[in-house]
Amino acid sequence: MGNGEDQVSGQRFEVARDGFMSREEEIAVVLRPMRAEDLPAAIAIAAASPEAPQWREADYGAYLKPEVGTRLQRLAIAMEADGRPVGFAAATLLPDGMENRCELDTIAVDPGARRRGVGRALLEAAMSWAAARGARKMGLEVRASNIAAQMLYRSLGFAEEGRRAGYYRNPEEDALLLGTLVTAVSPTVSISTDKEVEGPASQC
């Protein structure tokens, strides 16, 4: 399975320009599958987000190709505003008949689009995708110093499961291992429909 093209289709909702919402400041954003033409923007967003994995274009590209001869499933989604990506997320699910654990491999939001609900919407969409495919748990790694991201994750039910010493580089830092039961997710934005969805994004 590739990047979930059959599950994500131009879902539109509103986010605030400056961390709060008023009718004059709402901007339309679209949650959709990541495309090959998004890769330069994804790399630029990641470069502006030191806490995010610094992948090469080929690393992102692997999420856009269907998996052949394996149960591995991958998701790559982008949030688009004003015709350009302002955030993205990628996840991997390998059903094992037991935990069916999904890993959030990366998530990043353009600095100019933060604190408007974009990151929350991306994470909720990934969790919804995982739950729809039978995942029971979702896990991720986060820098021990990235308090803002930890607050977002914990608000969606993630809890600390362990610590990986010296996992990150530049600068070297421990990673916190967080996990949650995806069956408990009630996403703001579902990605299991082929219809456009109108509604407010969470303000986080």
Q: Which of 153, 173, 196, 198 is catalytic?
A: 153
Is 107 within 8 Å of 52 (Cβ atoms)? yes
153 in catalytic set: yes
Q: Which one of 57, 141, 161, 172 is the catalytic residue?
A: 141
Q: 105: which 2 tokens?
A: 């491999």
168 catalytic? Reply is no
Distance set, CA 142 to CA 11, 60, 102, 162 (Å): 28, 19, 15, 11
Structure tokens at 184: 């408990």
Neighbours of 144 (CB within 10 A): 15
Q: Which of 204, 189, 187, 33 is nearest to 118 (CA)?
A: 204
Which residues are catalytically annotated?
141, 153
